[in-house]
Amino acid sequence: MKYSALNLLRNGLRHNRDWPEAWRHPEPKSHYDVIIVGGGGHGLATAYYLAKEHGLRNIAVLEKNWIGGGNTARNTTIVRSNYLWTEAALLYEKSMQLWEGLSNDLNYNVMFSQRGVYNLGHTLQDMRDIERRVSANRLNGLDAEIVTPDQLKRAIPALNTSASARYPILGASLQRRAGVARHDAVAWGFARAADALGVDIIEQCEVTGIERRNNKVTGVQTSRGHITADKVGVVVAGHASVLANMAGLRLPIQSHPLQAFVSEPLKPVLDTVVMSNAVHGYVSQSDKGELVIGAGIDAYNGYGQRGSFATIEHALQAIIELFPSFSRLRLLRLWGGIVDVCPDACPIISKTPVNGLYFNCGWGTGGFKATPGSGWAFAHTIARNRPHELNAPFSLDRFATGALVDEHGAAAVAH
C-alpha cells in the first residue's frame, strides 16, 4: 500500500486496523543470487539499490537480530558531506544527494531535516583547518561557509560565545544542507522499499560461516540452515572482522565502543547541529525535545555495546563548556554501539581476494550519513563485480598500495 495523506485518513477512520505489514517475514530460500549479511541501514540500502538500479530480484538480507537494531539505531544521526579529501567528499556528497530525495524515493518519511551543521573552531589552528576544509569543499562543489562568533551568537543564542570562555569559540564552518534524519525510519523505509521489489528480509538469522570452493564463494551457514549464493556482500559494521575471519581474511579494522545519550525533553532550544572537535562533543535536539549528545570512542577494543563512565563524563564536560545552561539537565538514557574503525577513518567498499565475496565496513563513528550512498556504491560493486568510480579509492588494497585517504582530524569531528 502506498503511504499517502489519503491512506492515512482512510486507515485512521478504520482505527488503523487494516495497515498491511511494512515488509514480509519469509522463510529463507535454499538459494539466492545475492546474500547481504547485516540488516542495518547499509545492508538494507544495498539490497534496495541492487533491486532498483541493477534489476536483481533474488536477494536476501540476513540479520542476526532485528533489522536496524545495531549502530543504525544507536547513532546521533548527523548527516553532512563536508569532508576534506576529494575522494571522501564526493562519496559523502553522493549520499547527501540521495538523502535529498530519499523520502519520496522510498515513499517513507525518513524525516531528513537540513537544519545545518556547525563545526566549531577554538584555536588558531582549528580556524586554519576550517579555512582549508571549507575551501576544499567549495572546490568540490559542496556548500560550505565560514561563520564568525557574532554570527554564531545570533544563530545559536544558547551557545557560549564569550571571549572569556575556557576554550573561546573563534568561528565555525557551516554546511547548511547538512542536518539529521530519523534513524529507525531509514532502516524501515529501505526495508519496506526493498521488500516491495522482492527482497527477502530474514531476521533472527545469524551467519556463522562463509562457504567457498576454489576461492569462490558458494554460500553461507546460518543459524537457520545452509543457504547457497552466487555472491555474498558483508556489511555488519562492528562485526566486520568476525565475518572476515570466517572467510580466512584479515581487515585493518578495530571494533570500539561508542556511546551516546539523550537528556530529558525540553522546549526548543537548539534548531541546528553543533559539533566541536577541540572539546570533543556534539549535540542536536530531537523532535521530541531531547538533546542528543555523542561521545568519542572508548580507547579499548570492545564488542559489548557499552563503554566506560569516564568517556561519558568527558563528553558532557564539553557540552557544558559550550552550553552552560544545559548543566541542570538530567540524562534519560545512554547506550553504546560497536564501531568499526579504520586506520584512515575512511570506509572499505570493496571486492576481496575471494571471488564473489564483497565487504563494506570501516565506517567507524560516521557511517549513518553515508547510508544511501554506501548502499548505492556497494550495490554497484556487487552487481558489476567492480567498484563505481566513487568507491574505487576505498578498496581493501589501498592498505598495501599506501593510497590511504586520511580523514582523521581532517574532517572536523569524525561523526
Partner 1 sequence: MLLIECPWCGQRAETEFSYGGEAGITRPIDPSALDDAEWADYLYMRNNPCGSIKELWNHSQGCRRWFGVERDTVSYKIAGSFKLYAGEEK
Ligand X SMILES: Cc1cc2nc3c(=O)[nH]c(=O)nc-3n(C[C@H](O)[C@H](O)[C@H](O)COP(=O)(O)OP(=O)(O)OC[C@H]3O[C@@H](n4cnc5c(N)ncnc54)[C@H](O)[C@@H]3O)c2cc1C
Residues that bind partner 1 (CB under 8 A): 239, 241-242, 245, 250-255, 299-304, 308-310, 343, 399-402
Q: In the complex, what is the shortest distance from the CB of residue 324 to ligand X, in angstroms, rounded to a whole number?
A: 23
Say whether residue 69 binds ligand X (CB under 6 A): yes
Residue (7 or 245) nearer to partner 1, CB: 245
> 291-319 burial, b for 16+ CB within 10 Å, e for fewer?
bbbbbbbbeeebeebebbeebbeebbebb
Minimum CB–partner distance for residue 8 and ligand X (Å): 28
Which residues ranging from 256 to 295 are in contact with ligand X (CB under 6 A)? 258-260, 294
CB-wise, 55 or 402, nearer to partner 1?
A: 402
Q: How far is CA 197 from the centre of its chain?
A: 23
Is 81 an interacting residue with respect to ligand X (CB under 6 A)?
Answer: no
Distance CA 415, CA 403 (A): 22
Cell of 384: 558489476
Residue 408 CB, nearest distance to partner 1 (Å)? Answer: 14
Residue 407 interacts with ligand X (CB under 6 A): yes or no: no
By beta-carbon proximity to ligand X, the closer residue of 35 and 136 is 35
Between the alpha carbon of residue 264 and those of residues 228, 240, 335, the distances in Å are 48, 34, 15
Q: Which grid cell is 58?
A: 533474488
For residues 40 to 59, the per-residue mask of contacts with ligand X, x marking binding by CB under 6 A and - elsewhere, is xxxx----------------
- Piece in contact with ligand X (CB under 6 A), picked from 138-146, 231-239, 247-255, 385-393: 231-239
The nearest distance, CB 224 to ligand X, in angstroms, is 11
User: Cα–Cα distance between 252 and 308 in angstroms, integer?
Assistant: 24
Instruction: Pick one of 35, 47, 50, 62: the residue that binds ligand X (CB under 6 A).
Output: 62
Residues 117-176 that bind ligand X (CB under 6 A): none
Question: Hey, which residues does 231 pair with through a beta bridge?
Answer: 34
CA gap 344, 227 in Å, rounded: 35
Considering only the stretches 96-104, 311-319, 320-328, 366-374, report the one whose residues sit in contact with ligand X under the rule CB under 6 A: 366-374
- Strand runs (DSSP E) across 102-170, as ranges? 117-121, 145-147
Q: How does 325-361 read in b/e, with b if 16+ C-beta sit within 10 Å?
A: ebeebeeeeeebbbbbbbebbbbbbbbbebebbbbbb
Footprint of ligand X (CB under 6 A) = 37-43, 62-65, 69-72, 74-78, 206-207, 235-237, 239, 243, 258-260, 294, 337, 339, 363, 365-369, 415
